Chain A
Amino acid sequence: MENIPAPAPETLPPSDFEVALVSLNQWQLAWRRFKHHKLAMFGGGLFLTMVAIAVFGPFIVPYDPSYVPSPVHFCPGSATQIAYDGCPPLTQGHLLGTTGSLQLDLLTLVVNGGRISLLIGIGASFFSAVIGTVIGGLAGYFGGWIDTILMRFVDVLLSMPLLFVIIVFAKVFGYGDWRLIMIVFALLGWPSLARLVRSLFLSLRTEVFVDAARAVGVSDRRIIFRHILPNAVSPIIVYTTLSIAGVIVGEAFVDYLGYGVDPSKTPTWGNILTAAQDFIIVGNWWWALFPGLAIVLTVLGINFMGDGLRDALDPRSRE
C-alpha cells in the first residue's frame, strides 16, 4: 500500500441550510439564559447603575464631603422654611435637598455614602466567599473527623448573636472604621456559606465522575480544583451575590444601633438614615427617603440579578 491519501480536513460539508453550528461552553450558555430573563437584566442594570454612581459620582457632585456650610436661618428662596430642619429637594444648589442640623448637601452625602456601603457589601461578601469555600470544601471533601471538627466550629460561630460579636469587635479593634465593619461582616458571613459549600462538595463527591477520576488515580487536589469546584461554583456565585444585599442591610441595622461606621468620618447609607430619623418628626422626609431608596433599589437590583443568575447557572434550570 503506497500513498494513501490524507483524511479530509474537519469542515462540515455545505448543507442546504447553511447553518453553522457553534458549540457554547457553560458560561456562554448561562449568559444566554440570563439575557432572556427580563427581571434579571433589569436588576443587573440597576445594580450596575448604583455601582457607577458610587464610583464616579463623588467626582461629579458639587460639594466636598467634609465641607460644612455656615448656617443660615431660612432656606434660600424661602421666607418660611427653617434651614435647621433641612431644605427640601430642588432648593437652589441642592438637587436632593439638605440635611437638618448641619445643612449639608444630601446628594453629596448619598453619593459618597454609596461608595462605602457598596465597598463594604462587595468586599465582605467576597472575603466571606473565599473563606467559606475553603473551609466548607475541606470539610465536605475529606469528611470524617475534619468534617466533624470544622462543622462543630461552624455551628459555634453560627450560634453567636450577631450584635454581640460586632460590639466586641468594635471595642477591641476600634470603633467606626468602615474597613473593620467590612472585616466583621466577612467573618460573620462565611459560616453559612461554608455549610452550603460543604453540602455541595458532599453530594458532588459521590458523583460518578469523581469515582472515575479517583479510580484513574487523579490526586485529591486535582479532583477538587478541576472536577468538583467548577460544578460547585454556580451556587457559590449566586449566594455571594445575594449576600451583598444582606450585608448592606445589615450594615444599616448596625449603624442604627450605634456600633457601625462612624458618621463623623465616613458617611454610609445606613448612618445617613440613622441620623435622619430624628428629623422625620419635623417634616424632613427627604433626608431619610433618599438613602433608604438607594438601599432599596440596590437590594432589589441585587436580588433580581441573583435570581436570574440562579436560574441561568443551574444546569437543571427550570426554564
Chain B
Amino acid sequence: MVKYTIRRCIQAIPVLFLITIVLFLMMHVQGNPADRFAQNAKVTAAQIEAFKHRWGLDDPLPLQYCKWLGVCGDKPILINALPAALGGGNNGILHGDLGYSIFDGRLVTDVIAQRALPTIILTSVAYIIWITVALLAGVYAAVKRYSLFDSGLTIFNYVGYSLPTFWLGLMLITFLAVPPLRWFPASGMTDAYTTPAFGTDSYWAFVASNPFYAIFDLGRHLVLPVVTLVAVSIAGDSRFVRSSMLDALNQDYVKTARAKGVPERSVILRHALRNALLPVVTNIGLELPFLFSGAIVTETIFAWPGMGRQLIESVGHTDYPVLMGILLIASVFVVAANLLADIIYAVVDPRVKYD
C-alpha cells in the first residue's frame, strides 16, 4: 500500500512536467502578447521587437520554457536550478517565481492570489451546500425508491443538469435582482457605495471595523451565484449518491442485517451508507479542482472577480506568465485530486488489487 502510494506520487511528477510542456506549446500556438499592438499603426516594428525582447519572447521556445522552469537563467544551465543560496539563479517556478503579467505588469503570484480568494469563497460555499444536499437527497431517494420524492428528484436533476448556466444566472438576475423584486444584488462582491473593493487593504480594515455589515454584504452578493452553481452541479452528485446507495442496499450483507432483525435506521446508516460513501467520497474528491477554476460562466454573469474569468482574460490577452501560472496550479490540483482519489480508494477498499 505504502509502496503503491509512493509509486503513484513519483509517477505524478513527470505527468505534471508533461502537462506543463504541452500547455506551454499550446499557449504559444494560439497567440502572442504583441497582438495587442495589432490595430495600432503608430507602433513601429522596431518597438514591437523591443517589446518582445523585454519579455523574452524572442528566445527560442525550448529556452523560454527552460527559463520559466528555472533550469535556465542567468547562471549556467542546470546550475541555475539550484536554490539561490547555493549559487543557483532566482527565476522560474523552481525558485517560486512565476514572473510578471505582460498585460498589466503585476506579479503573477499577486494576480493569482487576488483572484483565487473570491473564487474559492464562491465555489467552496456552493460545494459544501450541494454536497450536503446531494447526500441527503440521494440517500433519501434511494431509501424511498420510486416514491414521489425520487421521481421528483430525478426530473429536477436532469433539468438542472441540462440548464445552461448562463441562462439560469441571467434569469435569476432578471427576476430577483432588478425592480420590482430587488431582493438580491445583481452582481459583484460588494456594494460599491458602502464597502471598499474586496481584497484591498481598505476592505480588510472595513471588515475589522464593521464585521457584521461586511459579512452581511458579502453574503447577500453570494446568494444568486451560489444558487446558480448549486442548481447545475447538484444533479450529477445526487444521482451518483442515489445509485451508489442503491448498490449498497442491494448487497447481501444488508439482506443479512435485515434478516437478523437490525433496526432499519441502523441498517441504512451504519451498514449501507458507510459502504455507499466510498465511491461518493472519491467522486467528490475528483471534483476538488473545480474549486479553483470551475465557475467561469457564473463568475462572468455575476461580475465575480475570480480565477475562472482571469483565465479567459489571460487567454484573450495571451498573457503567457499568468496563463502558465494559472494552468500550472489548476493542473496541480487535478493531478493531486486524482492521486488522492486513487489512494483513498486503494486504502479503504480492501477488495481492490493492484499489480
Which A residues contact B (CB, under 8 angstroms)? 39, 143, 148, 152, 155-156, 158-161, 163-165, 167-168, 171-172, 245, 249, 252-253, 256-257, 270, 273-274, 277, 280-281, 288, 292, 295-296, 298-300, 303-304, 318
Contact = CB atoms under 8 A, between A and B. Distances in A.
Given A164-B315, A303-B161, 16 more contacts: A152-B18, A156-B19, A159-B331, A163-B296, A163-B315, A164-B26, A164-B311, A171-B31, A172-B29, A273-B167, A277-B166, A292-B164, A296-B163, A299-B162, A300-B155, A318-B246
A300 B297 CA distance: 22
Contacts of A152: 11, 14-15, 18
A156 B15 contact: yes
Nearest to B11: A152
B19 A249 contact: no
Given A156-B18, A280-B174, A163 B26 contact: no
Nearest to A152: B15
A140 to B, nearest CB: 12
Give the most central of A164, A249, A270: most B CB within 10 Å: A164
Contacts of A249: 161-162, 164
B315 A167 contact: yes
14 contacts: A39-B154, A152-B11, A159-B331, A159-B335, A160-B23, A168-B29, A257-B296, A280-B171, A288-B167, A295-B162, A295-B164, A299-B162, A304-B158, A318-B250
A281 B174 contact: yes
B293 interface: yes
A167 B22 contact: no
A155 B161 CA distance: 25
A195 B334 CA distance: 15
Contacts of B338: 155, 158-159
Secondary structure type dominating chain B contacts = helix
Interface string B13-34: 0110011001100110111000
A233 to B, nearest CB: 20
B297 A161 contact: no
Contact of B26 (A168, A252, A273, A288): A168
A304 B309 CA distance: 34
Contact of A156 (B22, B163, B330): B22
A160 B162 contact: no
B61 interface: no
Contacts of A252: 164
Nearest to B334: A159
B301 to A, nearest CB: 10
Contacts of B161: 245, 249, 299, 303
The 4 closest A-B pairs by CB, nearest first: A299-B162, A159-B334, A171-B30, A168-B26
Nearest to B337: A159
Contacts of A288: 167
A303 B158 contact: yes
B182 to A, nearest CB: 16
Contacts of A245: 161-162
Given A158-B338, A299-B158, A167 B30 contact: yes
B159 to A, nearest CB: 6
Interface in B121-163: 154-155, 158-159, 161-163
Nearest to A301: B158
A143 B355 CA distance: 9
A164 B296 CA distance: 12
Given A156-B22, A161-B311, A172 B170 contact: no
B342 to A, nearest CB: 10
A292 B164 CA distance: 8
B165 interface: yes
B250 A253 contact: no
B117 interface: no
Contacts of A296: 158-159, 162-163
Given A155-B335, A159-B19, A300-B158, A148 B11 contact: yes
A298 B15 CA distance: 37
A280 B22 CA distance: 41
Interface in B299-355: 311-312, 315, 327, 330-331, 334-335, 338, 355
A292 B335 contact: no
Interface in B149-199: 154-155, 158-159, 161-167, 170-171, 174
